[in-house]
Structure 1
């Protein structure tokens, strides 16, 4: 059993006996930036808990278009097919920062949640967040213009940087293509809007990063009504 397992929030309240159950079959996974944890269509043979880094989960449509489903942050489960009855991964997960994860065989799902019910709660919350994000994207795409959608997206991502004064840097690499995909815009539209915001001093110019120089100004754009 890993000596630091009891220090993780999911497992900190468990007894030594419960920790021993959690440790059965558990392995550690490390990924370099750009490395895939799993690919869409792979057998969902394992599930994972992200300890450090960030993962980008994408799906490829039948016509070959790729879109970003979610960003996985430290402390979140991913690839939890056993929780929802899936036998294959419905998307691909790529490390956008170097990552450390815990992994278990899918057969360990039920013993694990019996020993650590917080994992089951986390899985339910993760599914809920995915549905909420999908509903939010659908509402924004049908009721908001391109600029407001991008502003809302950047503000949501910036929350993961934690509270603090401006400037606020989204704490993982993200491209304008990513932003276009996640906000339902074309790359040209996203680039044009963000370039204008850089000229106005709302964003700072940076490569593969987003740095918000004026959070209040971006929030005002997000809440602008036509």
Structure 2
């Protein structure tokens, strides 16, 4: 199943893989960032960038060097917006023209519940109540981890536009179980950045398998004004 092809509009170029890739040119500018990392970390870093370059090739940037900036965010070509994600079992990149989209955020996570010690750091009280209700209706989905993934996608959309950090507790997620969408309400006053209003953001989600199996994935697109 091609998860992000399903979650994102057709006009967005998506490349995803369930296995590691090791073809194409290696760039020392990228490799230096993981030179001392374990081999598995080097491989996921390399694979997701291969995905990104394959996606960028449709826009004429198939040899773009994707180095992280000072905040560890990938530096895309000037007229491109994009997002990358990697977790066990998934490497993916999504890119689009900035003339169409102001931002993209994608995230994939193992389909597992959040560790108990992380819940209050990530979920607002209202979200914790929503998780309890959703779990009572459908215990096959790790709703708390799904909200975590949604917030990760929100951050990946927010940061390239705002260039400011966004705390987990500054974003309230509401899940629509039937439509498989979510909305994000940002609990800040500074939500207008580069002409894009980020106070309310909507996205889509998918649960693959049941808890303990497969992946959870979320995706956001924000149109350009």
TM bin (shorter chain)? under 0.3
Relative to the length of structure 1, the TM-score reads 0.26
Higher RCO by CA contacts (8 Å cutoff, separation 6 or greater): 2
Relative to the length of structure 2, the TM-score reads 0.26
Larger Rg: 1
Which of the pair is proportionally richer in strand? 2
Which of the pair is proportionally richer in helix? 1
